[in-house]
Amino acid sequence: MSSEVERRIAELRRLIEHHNYQYYVLDAPEVPDAEYDRLLRELQALEAAHPELATPDSPTQRVGAAPLKAFAEVAHAVPMLSLNNAFSEEDVVAFDRRAREGLGHDGELEYAVEPKFDGLAITLHYQDGQFVQGATRGDGYTGEDVSANLRTIHAIPLKLEDAPPWLEVRGEVLMLKRDFERLNADARSRGEKEFANPRNAAAGSLRQLDSRVTARRRLTFFAYGIGRVEGVELPPTHGEVMDWLGRLRFPVCPERRIVRGVQGLLHYFAELGAKRDKLPYEIDGAVYKLNRLAEQEALGFVARAPRWAIAHKYPAQEELTVVEAIDVQVGRTGVLTPVARLKPVFVGGVTVTNATLHNEDEVRRKDVRVGDTVIVRRAGDVIPEVVAILPERRPMRDLVTPLHEPFAMPTRCPECGAPVVKLEGEAAARCTNGLSCPAQRKQAIIHFASRRAMDIEGLGDKLVEQMVDKGLIETPADLYDVKKINLVKLSELERMAEKSASNLIAAIEASRHKDLARFILALGIRNVGEQTAKDLARHFGTLDALMQADAAMLMQVPDVGPVVAESILAFFAEPHNRAVIERLRAAQAWQDGAAQPVTAGHLAGKTFVLTGTLPDLSREAAKARIEAAGGKVAGSVSKKTDYVVAGADPGSKYTKAQELGVTILDEAQLLELLGEK
């Protein structure tokens, strides 16, 4: 029995060492963190049950990995440790109880609480206020000297005012979500390897031998603690130390708070969790630290982590599961989307059974096949997706588990049997049957009725499918046809009580006279989303004006380029679409407005300069909007500049604007000025 345990312990240690190397040294993990954490917890449990088998070199006793030889080594005067994890409320309760027992404290303890940033730990050394060296955590005792790379990060101050003779600041280097996506999109377009997540991208970017590469990647930084400090009396609490670092101009996280007792911790956890998806950076939990430094000191450390702090983790957003089948779904515009049917898995806080595979090229690139073990990701409200497969877990071709063939898109539509085409330069394959394809018909009606479009309450997916399958309706215009939609007809549907039938009829009635923007969106023109629909409605005022516009006229609208213009022209050129629109006109489905042509914009004569990354608008979109309102966008700030629009990580233009006293706007203020809010 014990030799069995010994074997498992040895195996776990080998596996964990392997994953540590992939993760900490190569910045290229093979398995999701949740899987790694399971292995580590299993090992911890076995070592706890068999203390005689615990060894000082076990991965449970150590932090990170030894520094890369390519960098000079930096010894940490105060070790840089890890954090113990709490995965449940009970874990948090136990942590608080241990802390109170350790301190002999009866009442509620005071905690400093912060997000757990998903980046990598670094330490920054300042001598007489001058940045002299910076290093990674490494194995906790010795890290890598990455000073040159750290100097390229704008958020890190290189010179401090009123600093003590010696100060070590600890914190996290991270990559914002949008910068990560941009980096991976670039890598993909060049056929290079993508990073698994922002954390690995940040680590990979910081641990570059050529700091010009680091400078091209956008990294940022948050301070969350200090190391060795000389020549200054520290305030008594962590919270006040952070405030002090903030005054020294270190970026400190605005989400940090001071709370009391377990209730305070759990309340913060829920509050931060609700914000998680909206934060511009990834977090994987909340960190709770005893606020009083004297109490921290009294509790001290265990092997690899402090006793006075803990990381409370949110449910993992990436998990492992198995692909049971790959189906193909047909969408509103006829696009065929491969969908992985998964062995149910709990990820991102819900049980997931399907994940999108996007398109044929993606399935090929990732080489996803039935039977594969895959990493699924579900973050926030985003549709779950298959991130990658684990090639080493692919079933081998043998008598028991036949190896499945690579995925191929069907050549005929799975819904209607019409031929499938893939247009030159487009990733998507499409059914060629247009609205004769029942799947497209259903999707078109579902889209028409959706909340952001005509907003017909109670007309959900299942109901539309039934109504189309039973031949009640074929197009959105049929919804307003009393010969097709009435109490008698609706009563023929399954699970349709008289009450819900009359509610539905009332909801359809109430959907008439929609404003033009919603109606344009409801039409489901390819490449015309909510914002474009609004822009078109504002620009043309009436549907007839839009239908009569040629490509040049369409392209006067902000953000409408040749592709969108072509989609609009193609849609209105289709006789079937025109017929449906005429019936919708007769039903008074929409209401025209007044055109607001662009030429005499209210911002005529105003000059704008853009700097930094805006939360929602791309730079091109912001420029298009300003120009549509008659304004001009210039490249540099001067006395002639009227407004500087600043986003995250603004550059020298921001400072220049401050110097010249130019009005600085954020995105919301810009939209307000444009009259869009």
Burial label, 204 (beta-carbon count in 10 A; 0-12, 13-18, 19+):
buried
Of Zn ion, ligand NAD, none, which one does residue 224 interact with (CB within 5 to 8 Å by kind)?
Answer: ligand NAD
- Which residues are CB-neighbours of 95 under 8 A, at least 6 positions away? 84, 86, 288, 310
Stretch that binds ligand NAD, among 14-22, 42-50, 157-165, 585-593 (CB under 6 A): 14-22
Residue 64 CB, nearest approach to ligand NAD (Å): 6
Task: Convert residues 202-241 into a mask of x (bound to ligand NAD by CB under 6 A) and - (unbound).
Answer: ----------------------x-----------------
- Which residues are CB-neighbours of 297 under 8 A, at least 6 positions away? none
Tell me: does residue 468 bind Zn ion (CB under 5 A): no
Tell me: does residue 413 bind Zn ion (CB under 5 A): yes
In eight-state DSSP terms, residue 329 is E
116 is catalytic: yes
Among residues 96, 168, 172, 478, the one that binds ligand NAD under rule CB under 6 A: 172
CB neighbourhood size of 156 (10 A) = 22
Q: Which of residues 16-35 bind ligand NAD (CB under 6 A)?
A: 19-20, 22-23, 29, 31, 33
Tell me: does residue 416 bind Zn ion (CB under 5 A): yes
Looking from the CA of 218 toward its CB, the CA atoms found within 13 Å total 16
Classified as helix, coil or strand, 307 is coil
Tell me: does residue 114 bind ligand NAD (CB under 6 A): yes
Of ligand NAD, Zn ion, none, which one does residue 413 interact with (CB within 5 to 8 Å by kind)?
Answer: Zn ion
Is 217 a known ligand-binding residue?
no
Q: Which is nearer to Zn ion, 327 or 367 (CB)?
A: 327
Is 392 a known ligand-binding residue?
no
Tell me: does residue 480 bind ligand NAD (CB under 6 A): no
Of Zn ion, ligand NAD, none, which one does residue 437 interact with (CB within 5 to 8 Å by kind)?
Answer: Zn ion
- Which residues are CB-neighbours of 565 under 8 A, at least 6 positions away? 551, 554, 555
Among residues 112, 245, 420, 431, the one that binds Zn ion under rule CB under 5 A: 431
Q: Which amino acid is present at 299?
A: L
The answer to whether the CB of 184 falls within 8 A of the CB of 204 is no
The residue with tokens 């007489």 is: 128
CB neighbourhood size of 627 (10 A) = 16
Tell me: does residue 282 bind Zn ion (CB under 5 A): no
Q: Which is nearer to ligand NAD, 302 or 383 (CB)?
A: 302
**Which residue among the candidates 69, 116, 462, 677 is catalytic per the annotation?**
116
Of ligand NAD, Zn ion, none, which one does residue 433 interact with (CB within 5 to 8 Å by kind)?
Answer: Zn ion
Among residues 13, 137, 366, 441, the one that binds ligand NAD under rule CB under 6 A: 137
Nearest C-alpha neighbor of 324 from the set 374, 361, 360, 366? 374
**Rounded Cα distance, 17 and 664, in Å:** 51
Is 416 a known ligand-binding residue?
yes
Tell me: does residue 433 bind Zn ion (CB under 5 A): yes
Nearest C-alpha neighbor of 86 from the set 119, 37, 127, 120? 37
The answer to whether the CB of 144 falls within 8 A of the CB of 135 is yes
Tell me: does residue 437 bind Zn ion (CB under 5 A): yes
Tell me: does residue 117 bind ligand NAD (CB under 6 A): yes
Is 91 a known ligand-binding residue?
no
Stretch that binds ligand NAD, among 109-117, 149-157, 343-351, 363-371 (CB under 6 A): 109-117
Burial label, 576 (beta-carbon count in 10 A; 0-12, 13-18, 19+):
exposed
- Torsion-angle region of residue 21: left (phi > 0), alpha (psi -120 to 50) or beta? alpha
Is 35 a known ligand-binding residue?
yes
**Rounded Cα distance, 249 and 422, in Å:** 54
Residue 227 CB, nearest approach to ligand NAD (Å): 12
CB neighbourhood size of 272 (10 A) = 21
**Rounded Cα distance, 20 and 33, in Å:** 11
Stretch that binds Zn ion, among 47-55, 320-328, 434-442, 652-660 (CB under 5 A): 434-442
Q: Which amino acid is present at 567?
A: S
Of ligand NAD, Zn ion, none, which one does residue 117 interact with (CB within 5 to 8 Å by kind)?
Answer: ligand NAD
The answer to whether the CB of 253 falls within 8 A of the CB of 119 is no
Q: Which is nearer to Zn ion, 168 or 415 (CB)?
A: 415
**Rounded Cα distance, 31 and 389, in Å:** 9
Number of H helices, E strands in the chain: 24, 24
Tell me: does residue 373 bind ligand NAD (CB under 6 A): no
Q: Which is nearer to ligand NAD, 20 or 577 (CB)?
A: 20
Binding residues for Zn(2+): 413, 416, 437
Binding residues for NAD(+): 33-37, 82-83, 114, 137, 172, 289, 313
Report the catalytic residues: 116
Q: Which residues bind ligand NAD (CB under 6 A)?
A: 19-20, 22-23, 29, 31, 33, 36-37, 63, 82-83, 114, 116-117, 120-121, 137, 172, 224, 287, 311
Q: Which residues bind Zn ion (CB under 5 A)?
A: 413, 415-416, 418, 431, 433, 437
